[in-house]
Structure 1
Amino acid sequence: MPDFPIIDTHLHVWDHSKLKYSAFEGSPLFFRDYHVEDYRRDLGAVEVEAMVFLECYADFWDDGGQYLDEIRFVEEEARRDPGIKAIVPMAPLEWGSRAEPILAEMKEKHPAVRGIRRIVEFDADPRALTLSDSFVEGVNLLEKFGYHFEINVHHHQMDIVRDFVKRIPHVQMILDHCGKPGIKEGAIAQYRDDVEELARCPNLFIKLSDLPVEADHAAWTDADLRPFIDATFESFGVDRTIFAMDWPICLQATSMTRWVETLDRALAGFSESDLRKFYRDNANSFYRLHL
């Protein structure tokens, strides 16, 4: 366990009485409310200094969504726990320049917003969406507001990401959950190839999180995850790799304590300085937390 407080760059909280999350309906684990108090309880022995909220795929539609409502909900959570230092909401970047008024309102009225995530993984046609002129325009528009972009895809979609990042020259980006690699399938060769190629994009970072969820939920071991952890650092280095939990999504396969203990064993040879970069300092800089 790190001997210093860490920063968790991927926290979800939601309340089904406040917003609509159709994607969670019917799930015994997710069709219930999760608040910041539940997160603090589940941390166990892990000491967390600050958290970054990531949007929870609240329902949206062709001409609108719950983008601003979700921000306001998280601001309420942050009033109860000021450890929530930053918010990364969804925004309809596929609208291209038409998304600018929403981004402008976020910038003016919601100072905790640091970036935008628009999940493409679950879209009917992820390739058509991600590589469309309007979506690329919308993501590049984030530069005007000083926002970064978070990429959420499955490993079968990584060829799309390889093409996409080349079209975003200036906006900082981060690949969530290591691109959800095929751990259960043993797809380490593909993962090494993907991260080696993506690391050539200088404005792209990677979020080391959720690997147990991509493995066998009930039977994963350190040995299943270790090649993917090693490949991440080999390609992106310690300066562009950022720690995250992904609670409560991670609960499908691990507790937060077990995830940190797994990483501790994998990083046993790291210096104190490099551990601080991975667990805290890179996040502080990337998300502009000013801690």
Structure 2
Amino acid sequence: MGNRIDSHQHFWKFDPVRDSWIDDSMQKIQRDFLPEDLLPLLQQNQFSGCVAVHASQSEEETEFLLDLASKNDFIKGIVGWVDLRASNIEERLNYFSSFKNIKGFRHVVQGEADDFMFREDFRNGISALKMFNYTYDILIFHRQLSAAINLVKHFPDQPFVIDHIAKPDIKSGDIASWKKGIEEIVKYENVSCKISGMVTEAHWNSWKPSDLKPYLDVIFENFTANKLMFGSDWPVLNVASDYSEVVQTLEDYMSQLSTEDQNKIWFENASSFYKL
């Protein structure tokens, strides 16, 4: 096994009601995905571990991931869910702080109104994360980048990482407004970015590496190897690709980089960001 870290993947026992976002167009992932399904893929692709990110928004989900991590030591960290808007947020974070596997939290902001990140209750939750040294994963659509920029500027000491390169519209090839947002948010030292979730923003059945290249160029030019980390977004990636193909696509793209820079992206940055 190599020492790579997959900084972004999910587990679930499929529940059609709770997991209603996995609709019939995503039949390939309408089933259970558990650690025993992921381990062989990690091994085949030189990964020694992963960071499990919540797929549904409940504390039960965070407990489910904690349980899996307690039984599988290749799960090196968890990005859980807690209601950041709750008035007892400090108490909840204090409770979770006794579990060393929890490294940070996120909220599915892409499913919220565009002004969600300006909400006072949400920002109160973000301000509480620092007390416990938790990270925050920013999950947004590209149109929400301006709100994310305001958020990261407001909390300069909070470590943030952008999931799925902020979901540009790779299908349409529209790049300009997303690129402008990336060029702006990268100015803030406290922001990293996950190279993840790209194939599912492209045409599922017909994407080619050349469709992703312009978007990869933008994040590599802006974030550089110091602020980027690889995430597979498994098993969601299965609707458009497979684990090895996603890894191979990035390997090919990065073949011109120094070994040192490649190592940062495959494991060092995730390790230091999440304190694995």
Q: TM-score, normalised by structure 1?
A: 0.88
Q: Which one of the candidate residues 106, 111, 129 is aligned to 2:100?
A: 111
Q: Which one of the candidate residues 136, 151, 163 is aligned to 1:149?
A: 136
CA contact (8 A) 1:136 1:168 kept: no
Q: Which one of the candidate residues 5, 8, 13 is aligned to 2:6?
A: 8
CA contact (8 A) 1:88 1:115 kept: yes
- Residue deviations 1:145-200 (CA, integer Å, cap 9, x gap): 10011100111222222222222221100000000111111122223212110100
Structure 2's unaligned 5+ residue stretches are: none
Q: Which one of the candidate residues 204, 208, 216 is aligned to 2:191?
A: 204
Structure 1's unaligned 5+ residue stretches are: 59-65
User: Which residue type is aligned with residue 216 of structure 1?
Assistant: H
The 2-side partners of 1:137 and 1:75 are apart by: 25
* 1:33 equivalent in structure 2: 32
User: Which residue type is aligned with residue 10 of structure 1?
Assistant: H
- Residue deviations 1:56-87 (CA, integer Å, cap 9, x gap): 124xxxxxxx31x2233223322442100111
The 2-side partners of 1:25 and 1:249 are apart by: 12
Q: Are 1:121 and 2:110 matched, yes or no?
A: yes
Q: Are 1:162 and 2:149 matched, yes or no?
A: yes
Deviation at 1:209, TM superposition (A): 0.7
The 2-side partners of 1:50 and 1:41 are apart by: 11
The 2-side partners of 1:264 and 1:222 are apart by: 11
**Structure 2 residue matching 1:186: 3-state secondary structure:** coil
User: Which residue type is aligned with residue 256 of structure 1?
Assistant: Y
The 2-side partners of 1:30 and 1:222 are apart by: 23
CA contact (8 A) 1:136 1:167 kept: no
The 1-side partners of 2:188 and 2:13 are apart by: 37
Q: TM-score, normalised by structure 2?
A: 0.93
* 2:175 equivalent in structure 1: 188
- Residue deviations 1:201-235 (CA, integer Å, cap 9, x gap): 11010011111111111111111101111110111
Q: Are 1:21 and 2:19 matched, yes or no?
A: yes
User: Which residue type is aligned with residue 93 of structure 2?
Assistant: L
- Residue deviations 1:14-61 (CA, integer Å, cap 9, x gap): 1147x9434346552343211011112444731211110101124xxx
* More divergent stretch after superposition (76-85 vs 144-153): 76-85
* 2:91 equivalent in structure 1: 101
- Residue deviations 1:93-114 (CA, integer Å, cap 9, x gap): 123x531111110002x21111
How big is the alpha-carbon RMSD for the aligned residues of Structure 1 and Structure 2? 1.9
Q: Are 1:230 and 2:217 matched, yes or no?
A: yes
> Which contiguous aligned blocks of 4+ residues in structure 1 show a shift greater than 3 angstroms?
19-27, 41-44
The 1-side partners of 2:82 and 2:48 are apart by: 27
Q: Which one of the candidate residues 161, 170, 183 is aligned to 1:174?
A: 161
The 1-side partners of 2:188 and 2:135 are apart by: 14
CA contact (8 A) 2:143 2:178 kept: no
CA contact (8 A) 1:140 1:170 kept: no
**Structure 2 residue matching 1:82: 3-state secondary structure:** coil
* 2:272 equivalent in structure 1: 285
The 2-side partners of 1:263 and 1:134 are apart by: 38
Q: Which one of the candidate residues 77, 80, 84 is aligned to 2:68?
A: 77
The 2-side partners of 1:211 and 1:89 are apart by: 22
The 2-side partners of 1:55 and 1:236 are apart by: 25
CA contact (8 A) 2:10 2:234 kept: yes
* 1:244 equivalent in structure 2: 231
**Structure 1 residue matching 2:110: 3-state secondary structure:** coil
**Structure 2 residue matching 1:195: 3-state secondary structure:** helix
